[in-house]
Amino acid sequence: MCCSYSMHACLVFTLIFSVSTVYQMLLLTEMDWLAIYYLI
């Protein structure tokens, strides 16, 4: 996944990718909590 020509670009891309993944997981968790809250 890492590009060999630019280590900096690779690190930035990895950082953005991981942050967006964590954000999506938190968003899904928040939606699940809202669903559970409304079900109760």
pLDDT of 31 reads 80
Q: Are 3 and 10 in contact (CB under 8 A)?
A: yes
pLDDT of 17 reads 93
| CA 27 to each of CA 1, 8, 10, 38: distance values in angstroms, whole numbers, following the listed order | 25, 28, 25, 16
| CA 15 to each of CA 4, 21, 26: distance values in angstroms, whole numbers, following the listed order | 16, 10, 16
| pLDDT tens-digit map of 1-40 | 555 667 788 888 899 999 999 988 888 888 888 888 888 7
In angstroms, rounded to a whole number, what is the distance separating the alpha carbons of residues 28 and 2?
Answer: 28
